[in-house]
Amino acid sequence: MMDLIRNVARKIDQGERLSDEDALALFNSNELVEIGRLADGVNRAKNKDLVFYNVNRHINPTNICALSCKFCAYSRKPGEEGAYAYSIEEMVTKAGEAVAQGATEVHMVGGLHPRWKFEHYKDMIAAVKQAFPHVHIKAFTAVELDWLARRARKTIEEILRELQAVGLGSLPGGGAEIFHPEIRDTICDTKVSAEQWLNTHRIAHNLGMHSNCTMLYGHIENYAHRVDHMRRLRELQDETGGFNAFIPLSFQPFQNEMGINNYTFGYDDLKTLAIARLYLDNFRHVKAYWIMLGQEVAQLGLEFGANDLDGTVIEEKISRMAGGRAGMAMSRNFIEHLILKSRRIPCERDTLYRPIKQPELRPKTEPSSNLRQAINKCDYGELLTIEDLQLLADQASLHEVGRLAAAVCGQAVTAGEGSFAPTTVLKLAEVSSVEDALSTLDAVAERNCSKFKLAASTIAIDLAPSTAPAAGESAASLGLDALLAIATNCRERFPTQEVAVWGTKGLWRLAQSQQISVAKLAERLAAAGVQSFGSSPDESETDLTNQEITELHSLMHAAGIPTIAKVELTAPTYGPSEPQWSAFLRRVRALADLQARTGKVVGIEVTASPGSFITTSEYFRAIALARLGSQGIPMVIAPLTMIPTLSQPKGLGTASYQHPAEKIASVCLHFGAADLGSIDMQKLSPISIMEQIRAAGFKPTLRASNQQQPSLEVYSAIEQGLRHAPSLGL
């Protein structure tokens, strides 16, 4: 595979165009970090450190549509529930609200209204333009234009000239979907053909109008269809040069007639952005459309060749109605925050990519010789000092630390595997007695087994105070005897599962309330059959010193209990300042030193401390640095349920991704993580997580003493992508 990367790198260096075969091979390769690094290089050569965004508003005039594309959750028939159509006054009002917030662009696309005449569409544009002459109107996909032309019995050129005359500025990129007839004829057979779509854009370009282009991916198409799609766009761009930006649109999987209910994998999103950047060598701009990717993947997209985050958007309906979770609007401040946190320079643009204000570019700096030394040390497998790690934190690119960290993972016994621990969690503070605890565990175990045909591999007794609204007794008040009795019983009832205790502070509280030493407590836990110890996800440990943490872990080790430690990254304020790398790295190093003494630290979990403003690219850097700073510790864990996310999901009942972190978790496996942490099977489906891991190119395995691998039928369901295979009752 590295031959492929070398070959592509050589072509890029020599200004040679990638072939379709190259693009296809990249899609089929698992070298995510390397592909991203190449794409980032190409992007920076074109756009330096600039990342564009615009202040805009989407107005979708109507969802009433004459067509019935199979993937579309947005359209309605006249009179159908949920059908709407804005009046021209309403549209002007909406545009006015956006202008008041500084919008320079209005983006208008919608359904093909069976009764609206061409004149009505012209009036729409004219009214908005008259009210706000300085606003750029980007409106109507090639699909809408074809519809208008047919209804008005005019040519596309005539339609475009008339719309241009009343204020149409450019065309959006929608309606392209997938050009290849094998797919197009299935998902939107009544829509304009690829040739018609491309010709409409050709005509617009020849009239001096710019346009965008999109590709709807992540449904039934394969990689070859994607490459075919991009090739046709590249050819038209060669001919006219009229495309501003390429925008891959990740399929939003709700309420479609194709029976697809999976979001795209973050891994696929990033690869698609990067390959688009590499293959579409005649495009200057590649957009990470956050509305469909989610803010987390969109920000990471900036490392994978994207140089544009689209805009503030406000009230987007098309993806929202199809299950988009990213929210309807993002403030200018938040967009800038994401860009600054990826160490790039935000630049507000107009529709034609002219900066609204000239940005200040940083002078290009060569990597310091110290940084090069630190990188060389990594490459030769030498131990890094805390100063080396700090240099990597401050100066190395995310790809560089990712590459180095992945190489460390590649040397591990479990290389190529991505593990996690399906877990049954018992909050001690939420049970009232030993009997209550045991019957709760029995019920959960029974439910999990019948639902997933898979037993948990770990039973975790969490000592943190309850986070439930009606909190019961505190752990300390239920007492040590109860904890020991529960552990002993678990060992008997669930002999193939590991019994873990979670909670550093909880352990101290327990020792204090029982007036025994932690050493003694550790011995008693070991005697009761407790086999591992870790942090509680619900209690931060940033206020504990490294010495306190390592001492507690070493007492556990002395009692024969292996441990997993937590390292939290802190960014106390919102804004461009860097997170507290030094404190983070020192804790990593303290744990690595402990490991050198006891050899019983099984892993370190990387999380953000509560309330911290950690963005996704910072989190990925933290994963990689943790890996590089703790060479002797078997695994770095990106605990799926504790990955910091930027947007919160809003109760989308049947969502395949119950948490946005699920979209990016398996990508962490490419940046030095080997494990996705404990997955509470009451909250997340282990099947979906295995599928994620597999999609990122790793073999999913279960961690901990449970040797009971998923049944073959579960594995084969994953292979076939049958996440909701009815026969399995999943």
By CB under 6 A, name the binding residues for ligand V47. 71-74, 109, 141, 172-175, 177, 212, 214, 216, 247, 249, 251-252, 289, 292, 310, 318-319, 322
| Residue 319 binding partner per list ligand SF4, ligand V47, none, with a CB distance cut-off of 5 to 8 Å that depends on partner kind | ligand V47
**Of 22-30, 63-71, 392-400, 462-470, which part binds ligand SF4 (CB under 6 A)?**
63-71
| Residue 594 binding partner per list ligand SF4, ligand V47, none, with a CB distance cut-off of 5 to 8 Å that depends on partner kind | none
| Residue 247 binding partner per list ligand SF4, ligand V47, none, with a CB distance cut-off of 5 to 8 Å that depends on partner kind | ligand V47
Encoded one letter per residue, x for contact with ligand SF4 by CB under 6 A and - for no contact, window 85-124 reads --------------------------xx------------
CA distance 42 to 59: 34
| Residue 68 binding partner per list ligand V47, ligand SF4, none, with a CB distance cut-off of 5 to 8 Å that depends on partner kind | ligand SF4
Nearer of residues 144 and 691 to ligand SF4, judged by Cβ = 144
* Burial label, 9 (beta-carbon count in 10 A; 0-12, 13-18, 19+): middle
Nearer of residues 71 and 671 to ligand V47, judged by Cβ = 71
CA distance 216 to 471: 47
CB-CB contact of 464 with 506 (8 Å): yes
| Residue 251 binding partner per list ligand SF4, ligand V47, none, with a CB distance cut-off of 5 to 8 Å that depends on partner kind | ligand V47
| Residue 214 binding partner per list ligand SF4, ligand V47, none, with a CB distance cut-off of 5 to 8 Å that depends on partner kind | ligand V47
The nearest distance, CB 84 to ligand SF4, in angstroms, is: 13
Rg (alpha carbons) of the chain, rounded to whole number: 27
| Residue 65 binding partner per list ligand V47, ligand SF4, none, with a CB distance cut-off of 5 to 8 Å that depends on partner kind | ligand SF4
CB-CB contact of 680 with 655 (8 Å): no
Residue 219, C-beta contacts closer than 8 angstroms, at least 6 positions apart: 71, 187, 251, 258, 260
Among 67, 220, 583, 725, binds ligand SF4 (CB under 6 A): 67
The footprint of ligand SF4 on residues 165-194 (CB under 6 A) is: 188
Among 19, 28, 68, 439, binds ligand SF4 (CB under 6 A): 68
Alpha helices in 280-382 (DSSP H): 290-301, 332-341, 369-379
The nearest distance, CB 598 to ligand SF4, in angstroms, is: 60
What residue is closest to ligand V47 based on CB? 174
Nearer of residues 150 and 354 to ligand SF4, judged by Cβ = 150
| Residue 67 binding partner per list ligand V47, ligand SF4, none, with a CB distance cut-off of 5 to 8 Å that depends on partner kind | ligand SF4
CB-CB contact of 406 with 670 (8 Å): yes
Residue 496 binding ligand SF4, by CB under 6 A: no
Residue 65 binding ligand SF4, by CB under 6 A: yes
| Residue 88 binding partner per list ligand SF4, ligand V47, none, with a CB distance cut-off of 5 to 8 Å that depends on partner kind | none
Nearer of residues 259 and 726 to ligand SF4, judged by Cβ = 259
CA distance 45 to 38: 11
Task: Please count the other Cβ atoms lying within 10 Å of the Cβ belonging to residue 517.
Answer: 11
Taking each helix axis from N to C end, the angle separating 386-395 and 581-598, rounded to the nearest 10 degrees, works out to 140
DSSP string covering 382-425, please?
PPPPHHHHHHHHHHS-HHHHHHHHHHHHHTSTTTTEEEEEEEEE
Give the N- to C-terminal CA distance of the chain in Å, as an integer.
36
Question: Quick check: helix, strand or coil at residue 561?
Answer: coil
The nearest distance, CB 547 to ligand V47, in angstroms, is: 52
Nearer of residues 202 and 317 to ligand SF4, judged by Cβ = 317
Nearer of residues 284 and 586 to ligand V47, judged by Cβ = 284
Interface with ligand SF4: number of residues (CB under 6 A): 11
Nearer of residues 254 and 584 to ligand V47, judged by Cβ = 254
CA distance 301 to 483: 46
Instruction: State phi, psi for 602 to the nearest 5 degrees.
Output: -80, -35
Where b means 16+ CB within 10 Å and e means fewer, 232-267 reads bbbebbeebebbbbbbbbbbbbbebeeebebbbbbb
DSSP 669: G
CA distance 668 to 664: 7
- The residue type at 722: L
CA distance 704 to 686: 15
Question: Quick check: helix, strand or coil at residue 311?
Answer: strand
The nearest distance, CB 142 to ligand SF4, in angstroms, is: 11
Nearer of residues 147 and 283 to ligand SF4, judged by Cβ = 147
| Residue 112 binding partner per list ligand SF4, ligand V47, none, with a CB distance cut-off of 5 to 8 Å that depends on partner kind | ligand SF4
**Of 71-79, 429-437, 449-457, 577-585, which part binds ligand SF4 (CB under 6 A)?**
71-79
Positions touching ligand SF4 (CB under 6 A) are 65, 67-69, 72, 74-75, 111-112, 143, 188
